[in-house]
Amino acid sequence: MDEDRRPLSFWLLGAFFLLFVVFLYGPTLTILVLSFQGPDGGLTFPLRGVSTHWYELLWRGSGVIDIWSSFRRSLWLGLVVMVLTTVISLLAGYAFRRRFPGQGLLFNLTIASLIVPSIVVSLGIALEFRLLDDGVKAFAEEHGVAWLSEGYTTAMGLFTSALGAHLTWTLPFGLLIMFAVFNRFPNDLEEAARDLGASPWQVFRHVVLPLVAPSLVGVALFGFTLSWDEIARSSQAIGDANTLPLELQGLTSTVTTPEIYALGTVVTGVSVLVIGLAFLGVSIAKRRAAKRVLG
């Protein structure tokens, strides 16, 4: 393999790899092109002119789709999931560097949360909240708490059940990333800081945090994008107010204009933007960390 002449398998696998990349990106690029379809154009080629007609319809919300409320919901939920995933994964990853009771159980639960089928998790959360609702209503009636029995409908919602559902999906990824980070983490820096008299908090704040900061950007990226695109786990556990992907799933069977391609392109655009920002963030954080360590 060190010879300069490439073997036949290189060319065959290389060709396969190239085809796979086309397979991977081709469809997305197709709807990107078709989203600029002229006003008279249909769902497929040929392009009848080039326009931003469908984006304008989407922007004004005057077409078939009014997605801005679910767009905002998804954005907020994604940001909250992002912050919580980053903080909780960092803390847990840090905890796993030492021994504590229940360590093995917690690790297995986290992996299980990743592997158990999403529909089962989603259904479970829906049932849990239903039981909770029934419990609250029964309690309110029994004890005659008027404001509760009249005003209460359900505890299910975007920032309760749906948030929890998303976290069961993002936290395993966050923890696994933190494991990978701390496995390669130089222990001696911490020891040196301790020997110099730093408190545990100072060690964490001035040694550990700056060093893992670039990886935290990665965790945040996973937290946001996985939540932004999540369907299966939220599907049963969200109540009335849909997130954007759920809304989109419903639209696949009803919308028959290129507007859906415009919407799809916008949603993918948000993901690409976030990925780009993350890369930028990582390179900045790495540069700052290098400066700090090397002085």
Residues 173-192 close enough to bind another protein by CB under 8 A: 175-176, 179-180, 183, 187, 190-191
Q: Give the pair of three-digit tokens for residue 190.
A: 């911490």
- Residue where the block lists tokens 């504590």: 100
Distance, in Å, from the CA atom of 229 to the CA atom of 218, rounded to the nearest integer, reads 17
Nearest to 293 by CA among 194, 222, 188: 188
Region 230-289 residues binding another protein, contact defined as CB under 8 A: 231-232, 235-236, 245, 248-249, 252-253, 260-261, 264, 267-268, 271-272, 274-275
Q: Which of 77, 211, 217, 221 binds another protein (CB under 8 A)?
A: 221
End-to-end CA distance of the chain: 42
Give min distance, CB of 97 to another protein, in A: 7
Give min distance, CB of 18 to another protein, in A: 10
What are the Cα distances from residue 69, in Å, to 141, 194, 242?
35, 51, 9
Q: Which is nearer to another protein, 59 or 279 (CB)?
A: 279
Q: Which is nearer to another protein, 85 or 147 (CB)?
A: 85
Region 81-100 residues binding another protein, contact defined as CB under 8 A: 87-89, 91-92, 94-100
Nearest to 177 by CA among 103, 253, 93: 93
DSSP secondary structure letter of residue 243: -
Q: Which of 27, 61, 135, 186 binds another protein (CB under 8 A)?
A: 27
Count of residues in contact with another protein, rule CB under 8 A: 101
Q: Which is nearer to another protein, 98 or 295 (CB)?
A: 98
Distance, in Å, from the CA atom of 54 to the CA atom of 64, rounded to the nearest integer, reads 10
Q: How many CB atoms lie within 10 A of CB 135?
A: 11
Q: Which is nearer to another protein, 27 or 61 (CB)?
A: 27
Region 139-168 residues binding another protein, contact defined as CB under 8 A: 164-165, 167-168
Binding mask 55-84 for another protein (x = CB under 8 A): ------------------------------
Q: Which of 39, 49, 61, 200 binds another protein (CB under 8 A)?
A: 200
Q: Which stretch binds another protein (CB under 8 A): 75-83, 146-154, 172-180, 208-216?
A: 172-180
Among the residues of the chain, which ranges form H helices? 8-34, 53-60, 68-95, 103-115, 118-142, 146-151, 163-183, 187-195, 200-203, 209-228, 244-251, 259-294
Binding mask 100-139 for another protein (x = CB under 8 A): xxxx--xx-xxxxx-xxxxxxx-xxxxxx-xx--x-----
Q: Which stretch binds another protein (CB under 8 A): 25-33, 58-66, 151-159, 281-289?
A: 25-33
Q: Which is nearer to another protein, 187 or 294 (CB)?
A: 187
Contacts of 246 (CB under 8 A, 6+ apart): 70, 231, 234, 235, 238
Nearest to 44 by CA among 60, 61, 27: 27
Q: Which is nearer to another protein, 4 or 147 (CB)?
A: 4
Q: Which is nearer to another protein, 147 or 269 (CB)?
A: 269
What are the Cα distances from residue 293, in Å, to 147, 189, 210, 286?
58, 10, 9, 11
Q: Which stretch binds another protein (CB under 8 A): 10-18, 49-57, 62-70, 139-147?
A: 10-18
